Structure 1
Amino acid sequence: MNSMKRYALALICCAATAAMTTRPAQAEADLDVGSKAPSLDIAHYYEEGDAKVTDFKKGNVYVVEFWATWCPPCVASMPHLAELQQKYRGDNVQIVSISDEDEETVSAKLKEPYPGKEETFAVVTSPYTLTSDPDGSSHKDYMQAAGQNGIPAAFIVGKSGIVEWIGHPMEMDEPLAKVINDSWDRDAFKLEREQQKQFEETLQQFAMLAGRGKIEEAGKILEEQIASAPNEEFKSNWINIRHQFRLLTGTAVEEDFDHYRGQLKELKGNPPALLNFAMQLYGIGQNGGDLGPLVGDITSALKAESETAEVAEQKAACFEVMARYFAMEEDYKSAVDAQKKALELAEGASSAQKRRLQLLLDELQSKLEGGSDEAPVEE
């Protein structure tokens, strides 16, 4: 198996992991759901009225969240944290947000205007408890101990001082509400985390085998995981990986082609999504995969979309992608015709965009006249 195909197989695994979860990969954890929450020893609080938290008061609920001034997703989460604190202020809930940066860095950030708002960061974050802990003790006790490798990350500490949930703060609305009203199923969530960890470990094993060209062994893992998946979500994800794996290894059957045809039908009337889908499969074809009859299905779908799309740039993009597919099949006459149409429709595009389209047309024209037989590489 060539190195490009191995690389493409590795990308399948990365994409599958991203599709399955937005949680950062978990290392071995000393702190997990069900553990007693460590006490806090935070150096700096930025609102005078904020109650300082050391030990967790029985009967209260806390959110311990980790952030940084340089982290765009952390900044994006701030209004939501403020909203949650306001919503549950009467329910003995306190959100404590901790950065490991120094006091000067955080103080300077709080004076800046919050993006898209007239208020400063200080005003936006004032409903909840914003802090910093430069010695990193809180980060060590929570983030490192729980094997969390990315921020923002939130820990919900329940009424008995136990960690009830760990995850992205934008995803904690439901678990927080259930922890507050005593309907949260901690054991079920812990099992879900264990299943996710098992999925990631098995995916790494599959990627290693596929990357070494051990196709039969990698395929066996896929079949075993599909048969033993703990729920429909995991099963569906393994099946999707198998579809891509078969395309890349030239072992696709009608079942796989029908899967992608079904996706094409769902994308009808959505040009951006169709173009993205088409380019993903084009990438598989470029890396040695065998798309079989899907080439015709995709070019037909693109042609139909080009006739109904309302935006000229989307019409042009449909013809450009069609040109790439025709070239992949060495039908350079059709490829050149499609690319000429793309350039014609891109009349209002930027000069850089037009130049890129022209370069592809020149490349296709050269191949039509007897140049290289390789399909054009996406730029």
Structure 2
Amino acid sequence: MKMQLTAAVLAALAMTATPALAQMDNAQDTIKEQAKKKLGVGDKAPALTDVTWIQGDKVTEFESGQVYVLDFWATWCGPCVASIPHINEMHNEYKDKGVNIIGVAIWPNDRMTPTKDFVESKGDDMAYRIAADVEGKTADAYMKASGQNGIPTAMVIDQEGKIAWIGHPMDGLDEVVEMVHEGKFDALAYDAKKKALEAKAKPLMDQLNTAYRAQDWSKIADISEKLMALDAKKFSNLAMLRYQALNHIDAGAASAYGKELIRGQFAKDAQGLNSIAWGIVDPDAGNDIADMDLGLAMEAAERACELTKWEDASIIDTLARVVFNKGDIKKAIQLQTKAVDIAPAEDKEQLMPALEEYKAALSSM
């Protein structure tokens, strides 16, 4: 369920090394590359006919003058679930402004939480329209046709019913939707701007990868800061890397930066807060409890739980570990029990070892 921080950092490096690549194996092609696909930027979007509508009014055609954002996802997809708060926030911001958010569930499997059950459990935290693919036809019409092979993938449809953008919902979607909504989006200009940023970032990313392989934490902290200065949003995932680097060279500076993150950049980002907390208490990282900034971890984990209304098992699991490390074993057991109880069926097994560990610790007292 959770990667070690080191693994997460490596994933971050892989993603930001070429910012055109969206997270979790989902590529945003260049305009020319997309032109080679059956469906690409500038093409008319296929009608959403082969879907079952689970929530919200049906969209039988893309109405002229309206903007549509299709978020292709699945309940079994961790990054998809992690992006839901962001998508829902966008829905709440634009729902009365001619921008329609539609979550399109695709690629189901036998072990996943049923889409309808998942959506109902989210309530107002997933208030936008939801449609489920029928026999893979919508996935073929959009994902396969446009050469996309990973989720989450977002597609923005402009006021003329044409595909304006294809990418990862956490990598540029906000900026694109704002520009499309205002009638200011130019796909070619956007692509040129993106490539210019890549050109500036590439040498720094090469240096960062070299520094990471050498475990040169001072350089990692410095280069990460420079990349975030280039584009704070695009390189926001490097904040955790910089925090980890500072932790290696100056615990006080790391603590100060961590507080800056959880009260600023990650203040409303439950997953970012969870990453900070888990990075501190991850038992696989090999850190001594005495060296952990448990106060920072507690603040981050509790805030993440509040943001998710205590309904995210993975985040409650993090808080339980923080509480356990602080010595409140009974409270840790209560929290971990709740995490197991509310976790999707496919995740319960991964949460049980921690619960058994906490119970064993209590019985040995």
Partner of 1:235: 203
Equivalent of residue 19 in structure 1, options 10, 16, 26 = 16
Partner residue, 2:175: 174
Q: Distance in 2 between matches of 1:39 and 1:88?
A: 22
Distance of aligned partners of 1:107 and 1:93 in 2 relative to their CA distance in 1, 3 Å threshold? farther
1:156 aligns with 2:156: yes
The alignment's TM-score, normalised by the length of structure 2, stands at 0.50
| Structure 2 Cα separation of the partners of residues 264 and 173 of structure 1 | 23
Q: In 1, Cα distance between the equivalents of 2:207 and 2:98?
A: 45
Structure 1 residue 111: Cα displacement: 3.6
Offset of 1:163 from its aligned partner?
Answer: 1.6
- Tell me the SS of whatever aligns to 2:164: strand
Q: Which residue number in structure 2 is paired with residue 42 of structure 1?
A: 50
- Find the partner of 1:33 among 23, 41, 46: 41
Separation in structure 2 between the aligned mates of residue 170 and residue 94 of structure 1, nearest angstrom: 17
Partner residue of 1:75?
81
For the 8 Å contact 1:275–1:317, the answer to whether it is kept is no
Alpha-carbon distance in 1 for matches of 2:125, 2:326:
44
- How many positions carry a matched residue from both structures? 238
Identity of aligned residues (%): 26
Aligned residues of 1:109 and 1:121 also touching (Cα < 8 A)? no
C-alpha distance in 2, partners of 1:64/1:265? 33
Match of 1:84 in 2: 90
Counterpart CA distance in 2 for 1:63 and 1:133 is 16
Indicate conservation of the 8 Å contact 1:66/1:151, yes or no.
yes
2:116 paired residue number: 110
Query: Which among 47, 51, 58 is matched to residue 51 of structure 1?
Result: 58
Q: Report the structure number with the largest CA radius of gyration.
A: 1
Shift of 1:233: 1.5
Cα deviation code 1:200-225 (max 9, x no counterpart) = xxxxxxxxxxxxxxxxxxxxxxxxxx
| Aligned-pair CA distance for 1:132 | 0.6
Residues 304/75 of structure 1: CA separation in 2 closer, same or farther (3 Å cut):
closer
Q: Deviations over 1:181-204 (max 9, x none)?
A: 1122321333467x59xxxxxxxx
Question: What SS is found at the alignment partner of 1:169?
Answer: coil
| CA positional deviation for 1:97 | 1.4
1:1-379 equivalence runs, <5 A: 16-20=13-17, 21=19, 22-23=22-23, 24-26=25-27, 29=34, 30=37, 31-47=39-55, 50-54=57-61, 56-100=62-106, 108-111=114-117, 120-125=121-126, 127-171=127-171, 172-191=173-192, 195=195, 231-243=199-211, 259=219, 276-277=244-245, 301=249, 313=288, 316=291
Match of 1:201 in 2: none
- Once the 2 structures are TM-superposed, how far is the Cα of residue 157 of structure 1 from its aligned partner? 0.7
Distance in 2 between residues matched to 1:87 and 1:276, nearest whole Å: 34
The residue number in structure 2 matching 1:375 is none
Distance 1:314 1:78, change over 3 A: same
Structure 1 segments unaligned to the other structure (5+ residues): 1-10, 197-228, 249-255, 267-271, 280-297, 319-345, 351-379
1:51-85, Cα deviation, whole Å (9 max, x unpaired): 3233x222110011111121233223333333322
Structure 2 equivalent of residue 202 of structure 1: none
Q: CA deviation at 1:305?
A: 8.7
Decide whether aligned partners of structure 1 residues 275 and 304 sit closer, same or farther in structure 2, where only a CA change above 3 A counts: same
Counterpart of 1:18, as a letter, is: M
Q: Is the 8 A contact 1:96 1:130 kept in 2?
A: yes
Q: CA deviation at 1:93?
A: 1.7
Alpha-carbon distance in structure 2 between the residues aligned to 1:70 and 1:52? 25
Q: 1:69 to 1:232 in 2, by over 3 A?
A: same
| Partner Cα separation in structure 1 for residue 176 and residue 58 of structure 2 | 24
Cα distance in 1 between the residues matched to 2:288 and 2:166: 43
Contact 2:41 2:165 in 1 (8 A): yes
Aligned-partner Cα distance in 1 for 2:51–2:104 = 10
The alpha-carbon distance between structure 1 residues 347 and 135, as it changes in their structure 2 partners (threshold 3 A), is: closer
CA distance in 2, matches of 1:85, 1:65: 11
In structure 2, C-alpha distance between the alignment counterparts of 1:264 and 1:123, rounded to whole Å: 36
User: SS of 1:236's equivalent?
Assistant: helix
Contact 1:102 1:132 in 2 (8 A): no
The answer to whether the 8 Å contact 1:111/1:122 transfers is: no
Q: Distance in 1 between matches of 2:14 and 2:100?
A: 33
SS in 1 for 2:57: coil
Distance 1:65 1:34 in 2: 18
Q: Give yes or no for contact 1:106–1:132 (8 Å, CA) kept in 2.
A: no
| Structure-2 separation of matches of 1:104 and 1:273 | 36
